[in-house]
């Protein structure tokens, strides 16, 4: 199967799908993770993706570094050089070969001679086997495509080796060179041909023009000139478009229809059409001269694009005009024996060609193809295709045939087939993404509308809450003001109660003084009564004495009587006052007790008023906190 990483994607890939669009193989590019990678089991190394990629994201591997490393290690290596090298580097050609010799390359041969063997092998096989309708196979990309994707065409492939392999076989079997062989060529896909087990390892290295010249840089400029060791004929024309056709017509005349086909898209479309002609048993051209590259091998997949100028074609034209006279394979010098002489008939040229290579055994150069490389591209059934389209939101015929090409495929059907084969995903369809985006946009619009309604409802609720907060703020303010007034009144009341309490204490003290006074008065009145009694007794005695005194004592008796009368009055008055004092004392005691009880109530009221005042202060503080919190919540709500 494919060679790992022969063609690969580097980190520069942007997933733009240009490579997919350029690729002739549906399943070679795998686009699953935003990048487009290469499945080398399915890839035919046609190079179309490298030409198409404007990001430099597609690269290839060859054996240039290993080749020079092995040379430096002393390994014996000879080189076979594609004729396109002379066309691409006409001024550098000989010095580059001299540089290779200086690095240890043993022999250097031009594959042009191998191309002459290929021409001989084609014509010999055709004439001996009446093989009509053959497809040429110098191009390894074409061969790989047929083996993988149209193996039914293998019987129609020319069973003769390519110029590279004919040259390698000739060097190994006829020149007896035992060195490892390095092919210096313009083609990435030659690595596929080199590693094909049917080609028995005749060639070890695929050294491409571009990477070899990049590797040696200007190192060749001071090297002595060297030329290849075999001369050749029209084989040098093989790398140009129609080169094989020109060779065939040179030997068989222009009566045979040789179809010339080039280009990554045209070649494989033609081969599919060719298979259909076979199935329909339609007439086929005598031979198909088919190459992968649009301008032939001279502009191969591993050439320097800067070298793709008119100089290449001019060099080939000069090569065509030179008739090689001496080939060490046995070509005779005489012009009438030369296979490339223009003045003789095609039939004679063919005879001369057969004579020139008569020492070769055709069986040594027969190519065996590999049917086991066939790659199955699964075709979805109608129901499976409908399922894929449904999953891609392409349920209408119109959507199934948009065919915009943005995915890289020519049609929506090809994209669906790629998805079915597991090399792509529906997300790489821009219309699927567009429809998905539109659906998401509609959903988003619905969500936005819903959110708008929710915002309006929320705004209404917020407005209501703000009003409630305003009401709460006003109520708190009023409460704060009322509480402050209550606190002030409580403070005034407490002050007045304190005054009343002081007054009551003073009153209690006054009543106590009155009681004390009454007690003193009663004591004093007792003394007065006692004095009155004694006075009355004295008065009585005085009366008695005055009576005894007679007339002299009359005046004294009057005095004594007045004294007794005064004493009785005093006694009577004091007794009445004592009675009143006795009546007053319980009332004063009751007043004192009432005042004490009043003072106790006043003290209790004062404590309560103090508590009310303290509570009012706490309420005031909490009211302030509530007001701050209300303002904060109001601000937060307004900022939503």
What confidence tens digit (pLDDT) does each residue in 559-569 have? 657 666 766 77
pTM reported for the whole predicted model: 0.70
Question: Is-contact 517 563, C-beta < 8 A?
Answer: no
583-639 pLDDT, tens per residue? Answer: 767 776 776 676 677 677 767 776 776 777 677 677 767 767 766 776 776 676 666
**pLDDT for the residue numbered 60:** 97
Q: Are 588 and 515 in contact (CB under 8 A)?
A: yes
- 454 band by pLDDT with thresholds 50, 70 and 90: confident
Q: Given the structure tokens 């390519």, which residue do they identify? A: 162
What's the pLDDT score for residue 298?
83
User: 560 or 243: whose pLDDT is higher?
Assistant: 243
Q: State the pairing for strand pair 134-135/58-60.
A: unpaired
Q: How confident is the model at residue 194 (pLDDT cuts 50, 70, 90)?
A: very high
What pLDDT is attached to residue 276? 96
User: Residue ranges of the alpha helices (H) in 41-139?
Assistant: 48-52, 64-72, 84-88, 93-102, 111-129
- Provide the pLDDT for residue 331: 43
The answer to whether the CB of 292 falls within 8 A of the CB of 261 is: no
Averaged over 454-458, what is the pLDDT?
Answer: 79
Q: In the chain, how long is the greatest CA-to-CA distance?
A: 229
Contact, 225 vs 95, CB < 8 A? yes
In this prediction, residue 211 has a pLDDT band, given cuts at 50, 70 and 90, of: very high
217 pLDDT tier (thresholds 50, 70, 90): very high
* 138-142, 241-245, 345-349, 547-551: least confidently modelled range: 547-551
Q: Which of 13, 4, 23 is nearest to 377 (CA)?
A: 23
Helix axes 209-216, 64-72, angle to 10 degrees: 50
Q: Which two tokens stand for residue 483?
A: 């509480």
Per-residue pLDDT, 64: 98
Strand, helix or coil for residue 440: helix
Q: Could you tell me the end-to-end alpha-carbon distance of the chain, in angstroms, rounded to an integer?
A: 66
Q: Report d(CA 43, CA 191) in Å as an integer.
A: 13
Q: Given a cut of 90, is residue 270 above it in pLDDT?
A: yes
Tens digits of residue pLDDT in 345-386: 888 988 988 998 999 999 999 999 998 999 999 999 999 999
Q: Which residue has the higher pLDDT, 339 or 506?
A: 339
């Amino acid at each position: 199967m494919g060679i790992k990483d022969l063609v690969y994607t580097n980190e520069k890939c942007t997933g733009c799908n240009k490579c997919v669009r350029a690729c002739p193989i549906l399943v070679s590019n795998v686009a699953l993770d935003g990048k487009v990678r290469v499945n080398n089991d399915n890839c035919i190394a046609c190079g179309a993706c490298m030409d198409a990629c404007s990001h430099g994201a597609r690269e290839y591997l060859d054996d240039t570094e290993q080749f020079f490393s092995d040379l430096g290690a002393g390994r014996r290596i000879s080189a076979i050089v594609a004729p396109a090298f002379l066309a691409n580097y006409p001024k550098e050609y000989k010095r580059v070969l001299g540089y290779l010799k200086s690095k240890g390359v043993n022999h250097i041969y031009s594959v042009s001679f191998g191309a002459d063997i290929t021409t001989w092998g084609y014509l010999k096989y055709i004439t001996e086997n009446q093989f009509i309708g053959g497809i040429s196979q110098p191009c390894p990309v074409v061969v790989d495509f047929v083996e993988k994707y149209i193996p039914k065409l293998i019987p129609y492939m020319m069973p003769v080796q390519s110029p590279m392999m004919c040259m390698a076989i000739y060097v190994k079997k006829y020149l007896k060179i035992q060195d490892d062989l390095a092919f210096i060529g313009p083609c990435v896909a030659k690595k596929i041909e080199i590693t094909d087990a049917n080609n028995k390892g005749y060639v070890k290295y695929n050294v491409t023009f571009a990477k070899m010249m990049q590797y040696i840089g200007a190192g060749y400029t001071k090297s002595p000139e060297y030329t290849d060791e075999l001369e050749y004929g029209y084989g040098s024309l093989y790398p140009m478009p129609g080169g094989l056709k020109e060779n065939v017509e040179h030997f068989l005349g222009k009566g045979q229809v040789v179809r010339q086909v080039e280009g990554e898209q045209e070649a494989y479309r033609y081969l599919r059409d060719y298979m259909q002609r076979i199935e329909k048993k339609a007439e086929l051209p005598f031979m198909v001269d088919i190459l992968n590259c649009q301008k032939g091998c001279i502009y191969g997949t591993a050439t320097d694009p800067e070298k793709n100028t008119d100089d290449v074609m001019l060099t080939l034209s000069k090569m065509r005009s030179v008739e090689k006279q001496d080939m060490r394979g046995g070509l005779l010098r005489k012009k009438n024996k030369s296979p490339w002489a223009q003045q003789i008939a095609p039939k004679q040229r063919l005879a001369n060609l057969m004579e020139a290579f008569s020492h070769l055994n055709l069986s040594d150069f027969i190519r065996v193809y590999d049917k086991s490389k066939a790659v199955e591209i699964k075709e979805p059934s109608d129901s499976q295709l409908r399922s894929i389209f449904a999953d891609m939101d392409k349920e209408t015929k119109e959507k199934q045939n948009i065919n915009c090409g943005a995915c890289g495929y020519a049609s929506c059907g090809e994209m669906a087939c790629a998805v079915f084969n597991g090399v792509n995903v529906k997300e790489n369809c821009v219309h699927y993404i567009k429809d998905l985006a539109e659906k998401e946009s509609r959903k988003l619009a619905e969500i936005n509308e819903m959110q708008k309604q929710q915002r309006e409802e929320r705004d209404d609720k917020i407005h209501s809450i703000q009003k409630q907060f305003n009401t709460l703020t006003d109520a708190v303010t009023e409460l704060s003001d009322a509480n402050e007034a209550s606190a002030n009144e409580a403070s005034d009341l407490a002050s007045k109660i304190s005054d009343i309490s002081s007054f009551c204490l003073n009153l209690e003290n006054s009543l106590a003084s009155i009681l004390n006074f009454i007690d003193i008065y009663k004591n004093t009145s007792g003394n007065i009564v006692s004095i009155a009694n004694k006075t009355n007794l004295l008065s009585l005695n005085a009366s008695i004495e005055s009576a005894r005194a007679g007339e002299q004592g009359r005046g004294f008796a009057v005095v004594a009587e007045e004294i007794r009368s005064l004493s009785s009055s005093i006694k009577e008055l004091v007794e009445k006052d004592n009675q009143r004092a006795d009546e007053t004392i319980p009332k004063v005691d009751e007043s004192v007790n009432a005042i004490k009880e009043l003072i106790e109530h006043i003290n209790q009221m004062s404590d309560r008023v103090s508590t009310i005042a303290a509570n009012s202060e706490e309420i005031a503080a909490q009211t302030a906190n509530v007001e701050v919190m209300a303002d904060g919540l109001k601000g937060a709500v307004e900022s939503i």
